[in-house]
Amino acid sequence: MAQVVVRNIEDEIKARLKQRATEHGWSMEEEVRQILRAAVSERGRAPVKLGSRIAARFAGIGLQSELEELRGQFGVPMDLGR
């Protein structure tokens, strides 16, 4: 396996990496490996837009018809009785 040396990392970045590693229960070195794996695995894929992600999350739970598209329309804010 290859090795990569990264120099001149800010103290704050190092501290945050260490904190993330502790939260995940592994070493700081493994945390960096995980971050790098995630970064390069996303490179070839187009980002999924928020609306598509929301639709996928709630697919199949009861909505029986298409929702009307509201492009260019303004919503009316709720009156919260203030």
Q: What is the pLDDT along the chain (82 residues), one digit of tens a residue?
A: 889 999 999 999 999 999 999 999 999 999 999 999 888 886 656 777 888 888 888 887 876 777 777 778 787 888 888 6
Question: Which pLDDT does position 1 carry in this prediction?
Answer: 85
Alpha-carbon distances of 75 from 49, 70, 72, rounded to whole Å: 21, 9, 10
- Would 46 be classed as within a structural domain? yes
Chain Cα centroid distance, residue 43: 14
- Would 28 be classed as within a structural domain? yes
Number of residues in the chain: 82
Q: Which domain holds residue 29?
A: 11-50
| Domain count within the chain | 1
DSSP-based three-state secondary structure for 22 = helix
Cβ atoms within 10 Å, residue 28: 14
- Would 45 be classed as within a structural domain? yes
Model pTM score: 0.51
- Would 1 be classed as within a structural domain? no
DSSP code of residue 10? -
